[in-house]
Amino acid sequence: MKLRTKRPEWKSLVPLQLSRLSRKSAMRFFLFPKVQSAGQSPDDTPVYLNVYDLTPMNGYIYWAGLGIFHSGIEVHGVEYAFGAHDFPTSGVFEVEPRQCPGFRFRKSIFLGTTCLDPIQVRQFMELQSVNYNGDTYHLITKNCNHFCKDMCYKLTGNKIPKWVNRLARIGTIC
C-alpha cells in the first residue's frame, strides 16, 4: 500500500479571500521568532525572503556562490511568489511559508520590517501583481527573484542578497 502525502497548493491572489487573513493565520507557528531591533516599534512586522533550490545540483555549487533558486516573500504568515503560466493574468500567488510546491526549501533570510498590517500587505500585493503577469515570466529578465527584489525594496527599503539571482545576472551578460 502506497501512502500519499498531501502537497501544499498555491492560491492565486485573484480572487481576494480575506478569510485567510483571520486571527487564525496570525497565530501560526514561525520557525524564526519575530526580530525586534532597537529602532523597531511593536507594530512592525518582519519580512523574510524564503529561498528554495530548483535543482539538487545547488547542494554542490551553492558554496561557490552559484545556484538556481526560487524565492518568495513571507510577511504575516503568508508567502507571496511569482510564477509562469500561459495567460495574461497575474502570476503572483501565495503559499504557506517555506512550503512552495515543487521546490526544496533552503533558507529564510530576515530582510527588514514593514508597518503594514495583513490587510494592507494583501492589498499592496494585489496592486503590485498587475505588473507580474504569468505570461511575462522570463528566467533571465523577469523571474520570481526579480519579483522578490522589487517587493522587498518596496516593503522594507532593503535589497535581497545578490547571490539569490546571480545566474540571471550572469545570463544578461552572455
Q: Which residue in this structure is represented by grid cell 515570466?
A: 137
The residue count of the chain comes to: 174
Let me know if 70 is a catalytic residue. Answer: yes
What is the separation of C-alpha 158 from the centre of its chain, rounded to a whole number of angstroms?
15
Q: Give the strands of the sheet with 78-82, arranged side by side.
A: 11-12, 92-95, 78-82, 69-75, 45-53, 104-114
C-alpha cell at 100: 512552495
Asked if residues 14 and 89 have their Cβ atoms less than 8 Å apart, the reply is yes
**Identified catalytic residue from 70, 76, 146, 152:** 70
**Identified catalytic residue from 76, 85, 115, 144:** 144
d(CA 134, CA 148) in angstroms, rounded, equals 15
Catalytic residues: 70, 144
